Structure formats: C-alpha cells, structure tokens
Amino acid sequence: MKRIRFYLRIYRKILAQDLKSKMSYRADFIISTIGMIFTNVAGFISFWVVFQNFPSVMGWNYHEMLFLYGFSLIALTPVQCFFDNNWSLRHYVYSGDFIKYCFRPINLFFYYMSEVFDIKGLGQLLFGSVTIIYAWNKLGLEVSVIVLVELFIAIITASLFMIALMNAAAATCFWIVNSGYVMVTAFKFKDYSRYPVTIFSPVFRFVFTFVIPIAFISYYPSLLFLRSNTVPLLTWLSPAIGVASFYLSYKFWMKGAASYSGTGS
C-alpha cells in the first residue's frame, strides 16, 4: 500500500507538469479535440447511413450497434489517455534517448508511460458516454447499482485488452527496426472492435477472439447487457483474461526494455 501511494504521488506531480505544458498550446489542444470529436461523429453517421437501408445486421439492430460503438469508445479511452507514449517509444529507442529512463529508481514502464497524458482522450470519453447513454435509453436496458458496477468492470476489462495489444505492438521496436507499421496495424484493429464478432467468417471470429482478441474490447463484455439470457463463458472469463493479457504485455515490454543497449540505431 505504501508503494502504491508512492507511485500515485509521483504520478500526480508528473501529470501536473504534463498538463501545464499542454495547456500552454491551447489552440493545438482545441483543434485536436475538435478533430477527434468529428472523427467519432463520422463513425456515428456511418452507422446511421447503413441502417437506413438495413433494419439489422446479423440480428443486431441500430441501437445495439450504437451501444457497441459507444462502449468501444469508452473502453479505448484509457489507452488513449494513459498509454499514448507508446507511439513515441520507437523514436526514443532509435535515437538512443530511451537510456534516460533506465537510470531512475522507479519502475521503468511506469516512468515512461506517466510522462504523457493525452487529454484529448477525454473528448472521446464524453462522446462515447453520450452514445452509450442514448443507446441504453432506446434499448430500455435496466439501470441499477449492480448493473452500473457490472458496466464499470466490463469497461475496465475491455480496456485491458487494447492496452495489452498496444503495449505488445510498441515493444516490438526493441527488436524490429521499422516497427512503426506494427503499431499502426495493431491500432487499426480497434475499428473492428465496434462490430459483433458474429458478423465475421469463422476464421476471423477465431482470430479476433484467440489471436488478436479485439472481440473482448466491446462484443463479449457488451453481451452481459445486450444478450443477458445467453451470456457465453468467455464473457465471464473476460476479467481474468484481460488481466493476464495486460500482465503478459507488460512483461514483454519490460523484456524488450531489458534488452535495450542504449546505442540507438
């Protein structure tokens, strides 16, 4: 507990400094936030256009798809806000500047990730929350303390899978020189997380569940609320699998950092 308080105290100080530096460029922050909101609005409109011609897609109606979309946006917020520095990892490694993180007497992974907080992700959180509330109301889903607790746990669980995916993708830069495409490819998979895995072919269902588990970012957790009568075992196992995925990605990231020579490339 004392160690947790120690890291929380350090994080608050680092976060304060990062936010001060970002707010000194307010125009950049405002423009970026507006851009992110418009990107999410475009996704919202795409669903609306599709469902103007089709009443449902493989048994999923418009508001259920909106629920998945909003859920995925909220679940992706932690990786956007707290782990955005993964995108810069390869630059630090190739330039040799990553060596500066290796000499502090604190956890290397924590120190590196805590340096950046992407405040623009809060705009995504807001849009996702509005979307899921709208869909929840239209679907007439139950609202209770237990359901809200389940929703919170489901969102945290879903977040762990995307964080794990991006941690693992970023860590490849310790071994692969041109690893930028790995990060971009991994990030692109998030676009598939907003759709029910059942609309894909059996091959892709297997891949999106057991190889690149993006189905756990939205589909499986959402079944707890959208298909409460037929919740599969994988939904109940999601929290354990999510924690295991994050831990394995953390160990993979740290293994890469341990192999870092400090010479750059």
Q: Is the predicted pLDDT of residue 29 greater than 70, yes or no?
A: no
pLDDT band at 60 (very low <50, low <70, confident <90, very high): confident
What token pair was written down for 132? 């899921």
pLDDT tier, 76 (very low <50, low <70, confident <90, very high otherwise) = very high
What's the confidence (pLDDT) of residue 132?
A: 94
Calculate the average pLDDT of the chain: 86
In a domain, 27, yes or no: yes
In a domain? residue 71: yes
Domain contains 264: no
Cα distance between residue 17 and residue 21, in whole Å: 6
Query: How far apart are the C-alpha atoms of 33 and 10, rounded to whole Å?
Result: 27
In a domain, 124, yes or no: yes
Q: Which of 64, 101, 86, 76 is nearest to 214 (CA)?
A: 76
In a domain, 263, yes or no: no
Q: What angle do CA 247, 238, 163 make, to 5 degrees?
A: 45
79 within 8 A of 167, measured Cβ to Cβ? no
Residue 158 CB neighbour total at 10 angstroms: 28
Q: How many separate domains does the chain show?
A: 1
233-258 and 219-226 helices, crossing angle to 10°: 150
Phi, psi of 150, deg, nearest 5: -60, -40
* 89-148: pLDDT as tens digits: 999 998 888 988 888 788 999 999 998 888 778 888 888 999 999 999 999 998 999 999
Q: Which domain holds residue 43?
A: 2-258
194-195-200-206 Cα dihedral, nearest 10 degrees:
50
User: What percent of the chain clears pLDDT 70, i.e. is strictly above it?
Assistant: 90
CB 110 within 8 A of CB 7: yes
Supply the pLDDT for residue 126: 87
* Residue at 85 is within a domain: yes
pLDDT at position 262 is 64
Assess if residue 265 is contained within a domain. no
Does the pLDDT of residue 264 top 60, yes or no?
A: no
Residue 248 lies in a domain: yes
Answer whether residue 165 shows pLDDT above 60: yes
Provide mean pLDDT across the span 230-243. Answer: 92
Distance CA 218, CA 265 (A): 38
Tens digits of residue pLDDT in 192-226: 888 899 889 999 999 999 999 999 999 999 999 99
The 3-state secondary structure of the chain reads CHHHHHHHHHHHHHHHHHHHHHHCCHHHHHHHHHHHHHHHHHHHHHHHHHHHHCCEECCEEHHHHHHHHHHHHHHHHHHHHHCHHHHHHHHHHHHCHHHHHHHCCCCHHHHHHHCCCCCCHHHHHHHHHHHHHHHHHHHCCCCCHHHHHHHHHHHHHHHHHHHHHHHHHHHHHHCCCCCHHHHHHHHHHHHHHHCCHHHCCHHHHHHHHHHCCHHHCCHHHHHHHHCHHHCCHHHHHHHHHHHHHHHHHHHHHHHHHHCCCCCCC
Token pair of 35 as six digits: 């851009």
Question: What is the model's pTM?
Answer: 0.87
Q: Are 235 and 77 in contact (CB under 8 A)?
A: no
pLDDT score of 1 more than 80: no
Least confident window among 18-32, 80-94, 142-156, 173-187 = 18-32
Asked if the model's pLDDT at residue 42 lies above 80, the reply is: no
Written as six digits, the tokens of 246 are 């994050």
Find residue 61's DSSP bridge partners. 56
